[in-house]
Amino acid sequence: MKNVFKNIIALVILGIAVFVFRDSLTKSYLALQDKYFPCTRQISYSIGSFDPSFGIKKEDFLNAIKEGEDMWETSVSKDLFIYKPEGGELTINLVYDTRQENTQKLKSIDDSIQNNQSSYDFLKSRVDTLEREYKDKKAIFESKVVALKDRQGRYSSENIAELNSLQAELNADVNNINALVNELNKSASSFNTKVKDYNTVGSEIGDEFEEGLYHSDKNGKYIDIYQFEDKAKLERVLMHELGHALGLGHINNPDAIMYKLNTGTNLIPTNDDINVLRAHCGLR
């Protein structure tokens, strides 16, 4: 009877321990499963912190995640992730800091540079046209200066009036050209200033900062997205970090989704990406 009572107490204690440490036990179990039997279950994910400073809707952010999810799953014909509105084991955060702030500055400066370039090109074209017209008028004026002289080298009052009128037109053209050249120089100066600003901000960002990071620590599994230039870049960095969540490392192929930098433009995993994923999942 005593043994039965002891067993009951032991079971109660065990039950309490399992209840108290259920989250830690679940995480440990899932970690072991992922380590020894990768890709045998779907990884659930939820959106965590979401900073609106990026200027993107939460729905669009979720769609970008799903696009990345679909690309990996389609490449190996296997369900790897599943979305949960709340409580997913993988939390995906959109974190605004100086990286995205500088990226937005670069975008604004780049737009300004493009506008300056268009303005400069328009003014340059206009100056070139006026200079050609001026040269043609000047040639006509100089030919008339010679042609309208009489034998004594004098001009009639009518001829003088015509030549004065042509001279006045030439002077007006010179003034117009000079005014446009001044505007052209201002545009060039503004353009150079914008380029300098662009290079300054670009140097602050650097070439190898992390646009996103995958973490797996005592706080759980989570992805922090810090920076993206456009929808395509967002999808690529999400795919990259989802790849890390699956257990993939970096690939030495600049076109690969799992390359260490987000320099590529393709949104479909390369053969290298797929081969690494299949090997990791034990797929033939």
- Alpha carbon dihedral 140, 144, 145, 151, in 10-degree steps, equals 160
- Alpha carbon dihedral 97, 224, 67, 84, in 10-degree steps, equals -130
Highest-confidence range of 2-6, 35-39, 174-178, 233-237, by mean pLDDT? 233-237
* Mean pLDDT of the 41-51 span: 94
* Mean pLDDT of the 81-95 span: 94
* Mean pLDDT of the 160-185 span: 82
Per-residue model confidence (pLDDT) at position 103:
59
Q: Is 181 exposed, middle or buried (0-12, 13-18, 19+ CB in 10 A)?
A: middle
pLDDT greater at residue 36 or residue 22: 36
pLDDT greater at residue 162 or residue 3: 162
Q: How confident is the model at residue 37 (pLDDT cuts 50, 70, 90)?
A: low
Task: Count other Cβ atoms within 10 Å, centred on residue 176.
Answer: 15
Per-residue model confidence (pLDDT) at position 14:
47
CB 159 within 8 A of CB 165: no
Per-residue model confidence (pLDDT) at position 65:
97
Q: How confident is the model at residue 209 (pLDDT cuts 50, 70, 90)?
A: very low
Q: What is the mean pLDDT of the chain?
A: 80
Per-residue model confidence (pLDDT) at position 33:
52
The CA distance from 186 to 179, in Å, is 11
Percent pLDDT > 70 in the chain is: 74
The CA distance from 107 to 229, in Å, is 8
The CA distance from 41 to 81, in Å, is 8
pLDDT at 31 > cutoff 60: no
Q: How confident is the model at residue 107 (pLDDT cuts 50, 70, 90)?
A: low
Per-residue model confidence (pLDDT) at position 152:
77
Per-residue model confidence (pLDDT) at position 280:
93
The CA distance from 277 to 81, in Å, is 14
The CA distance from 149 to 179, in Å, is 34
pLDDT at 68 > cutoff 80: yes
pLDDT at 112 > cutoff 90: no
Q: How confident is the model at residue 217 (pLDDT cuts 50, 70, 90)?
A: confident
Per-residue model confidence (pLDDT) at position 134:
83
* Mean pLDDT of the 39-63 span: 93
* Mean pLDDT of the 268-284 span: 93
